Amino acid sequence: MKLEHLQEAFNQFNHNSKFLSHSELASGHINDTYLVKTSAGINYVLQRINHGVFKNVPGLISNKVNVSKHLQKKLAYLPKYELNRKVLSFVETTNGDYYYTDAEGNYWNLMVYIDNSITFETVTSADVAYEGGKLIGGFLNLTSDFDASKLSEVIPKFHDMPFRFSQFEDALKVASEERIEKAKEYIDLVWSLKDEMHIIQNLKESGDIKLRVTHNDTKISNVLFDTDNKGLCVIDTDTVMPGVVHYDFGDAIRTICNSAAEDETDLDKVNFNLEYYKAYTKGFLEQVESVLTPTELKYLPLGAKTMIFIIALRFLTDYLNGDIYFKTKYPEHNLDRAKNQFKLIESMTQKMDVYSN
C-alpha cells in the first residue's frame, strides 16, 4: 500500500493530528493493518478491510462499533484511562461515519491504538493463558445481554460445519493432482472425523445450544495484554456475529495450548499444553460460567477440538483451491498450517484422554 493512500485514508478521520510515520501490523491473514504514529502523541490503528472476504463492510463496521459502545456502557464505572485500555474506541470520519471508502473502493476504519500493550503469537506461561481466559470469558459475559439478532452476519456460515465441508468437497474437484497427493493423509483424516465434528453443529441446529454474541476469532494474538502480562482488551472484532460459546472458547484454546505457532513446520514442536488448557478454562469460567447452561458447559472440550478442526479444514481447503483466501508466504504455507492443526488435534486427543480418565 502506498504511503499517499494511507495518509489520504487517515486524513478522512476526525483526529486533529498529523500523520508522522506508519508500520504494518502484519499478523492477520485477511485485512491490512497499520500502526500510525502522529504528532499529537496519540497513535492509531488504520485498517483496510478486505472487502473480497467481507462482502458487507458497513454491516461489519456497525457490528463492531455497536459492540464497543455496549462494552463502554457496561464498563462505564471504570476510570476513563482504564476504560480506554479495555475497550476499542473507533474514530469517526469528518462526515460522521465510522468508515471511509476511497476512490478505488477500499474500505478503511480507524481506532485508537492502546499504548504499552503487547500480543502473543504463542503463549509461554499459564498466567497468560489464565488472563486470556478471563478476557474472553469476560467478553462473552459482558455481551450476553446484547441482542445477537441485531448483528449482521458478516460472513454467513462462518463456523458452519456442513458449509465448510461443502467448500472442501468443491475444492477436491478443482485441486491439482499434485496438491491432492501432498494432502492425501489429511484429506483422509477429515473424513474420519466428520461425524464427531458435527456434534456441536447439530446441538446448535436443534436449539439445545443457543446463539449468543460471539467474537469468532479469539486466537490469542487477538487479545491485548499490558506490559505486566495482565489482560487488557479483546481486539479484531470484525467477525462479531451470532454464534455459540464453543467457537470462542475453542479458537482461543487452539492458539493458547499450541506449544508452537500455527504454521510451525517441525511438528515435533506442536504439542497440546494441558496446563494452559486448565489455566485458560479456569479464567474463562470465572467470568462466564454463571450465564452458561449445563449443555454449553458439557461440550466445551469438544468445542475446542471442533474449532481446531474447522480451521485445519479451512487451511486444507484453501491449499486445495490454490491459496485464494488466506494470505500465504510460500506455496505450501496453507498445507503446513493444516498439518500443524491436525497434529494439535492428535496431541489434544491424547492429553485430554489421560486428563478425563
Using CB under 5 A as the criterion, which residues of the chain lie in contact with Mg ion when the complex forms?
217, 236
Q: Name which of residues 236 to 275 contact ligand GN1 (CB under 6 A).
A: 236, 239, 262
Residues 193-232, one symbol each (x = binds ligand GN1 by CB under 6 A, - = not), give ------------------------x-x-------------
Pairing of strands 32-38, 19-24: antiparallel
Residue 109 and residue 40 in contact, taking contact as beta carbons nearer than 8 Å: no
Output 25 or 180, the one with its CB closest to ligand GN1: 25
User: Least distance (Å) from Mg ion to the CB of residue 315?
Assistant: 15
Choose the stretch contacting ligand GN1; rule: CB under 6 A; options: 22-30, 103-111, 132-140, 142-150: 22-30
- Residues paired with residue 9 on neighbouring β-strands, in sequence order: none
- Output the smallest distance, CB 253 to ligand GN1, in A: 12
Coil vs helix vs strand at 34 = strand
Cβ of residue 249: shortest distance to ligand GN1, in angstroms? 14
**Contact of residue 305 among Mg ion, ligand GN1, none (CB under 5-8 Å per partner type):** none
Distance in Å, CB of 155 to Mg ion, minimum: 10
User: 327: which 3 cell numbers?
Assistant: 494470505
Q: How many angstroms separate the first and last alpha carbons of the chain?
A: 53
Size of the site for ligand GN1 (CB under 6 A): 10
Stretch that binds ligand GN1, among 2-10, 27-35, 129-137, 183-191 (CB under 6 A): 27-35
CB neighbour list of residue 169: distance below 8 Å, 6 or more residues apart: none
Q: How far is the CB of 323 from ligand GN1 (least distance, A)?
A: 13
Give the separation between CA 328 and CA 335, rounded to whole angstroms: 10
Work out whether 35 is an interface residue with ligand GN1 (CB under 6 A): no
Distance CA(53)–CA(75), nearest Å, equals 32
**Calpha distance 148→266 (Å, rounded):** 41
| Cα maximum dimension of the chain | 60
Comparison of 155 and 175: residue with beta carbon closer to Mg ion: 155
Residue 215 near residue 139, CB atoms below 8 Å: yes
> Cell 461489519 maps to which residue?
60
Q: Which is nearer to ligand GN1, 64 or 219 (CB)?
A: 219
Which of residues 179 and 337 has its CB atom nearest to Mg ion in the complex? 337
Q: Pick the closer one to Mg ion by CB: 197 or 311.
A: 311
Is the distance from CB of 193 to CB of 164 less than 8 angstroms?
A: no
Binding residue (CB under 6 A) for ligand GN1 from 10, 28, 44, 164: 28
| Minimum distance from residue 219 beta carbon to Mg ion (Å) | 8
Sheet holding 107-112, edge to edge: 19-24, 32-38, 44-49, 107-112, 100-101
- When binding is defined by CB under 6 A, the residue of 203, 311, 335, 338 that contacts ligand GN1 is 311
H helices within the chain, ranges in order? 3-10, 57-74, 80-86, 126-142, 161-174, 177-193, 199-206, 245-256, 274-288, 294-298, 300-320, 333-356
How many Cβ atoms sit within 10 Å of the Cβ of residue 91?
A: 18
Query: Cβ of residue 100: shortest distance to Mg ion, in angstroms?
Result: 20
Name the DSSP class of 165.
H
Residue 70's binding partner out of Mg ion, ligand GN1, none, with CB under 5 to 8 Å set by partner kind: none
**DSSP letter assigned to residue 233:** E
Residue closer to ligand GN1 (CB basis): 19 or 186:
186
For the bound state, the minimum distance from the C-beta of residue 351 to Mg ion, rounded and expressed in Å, comes to 27
CB 311 to Mg ion: min, Å: 12
Q: Which residues bind ligand GN1 (CB under 6 A)?
A: 28-30, 53, 217, 219, 236, 239, 262, 311
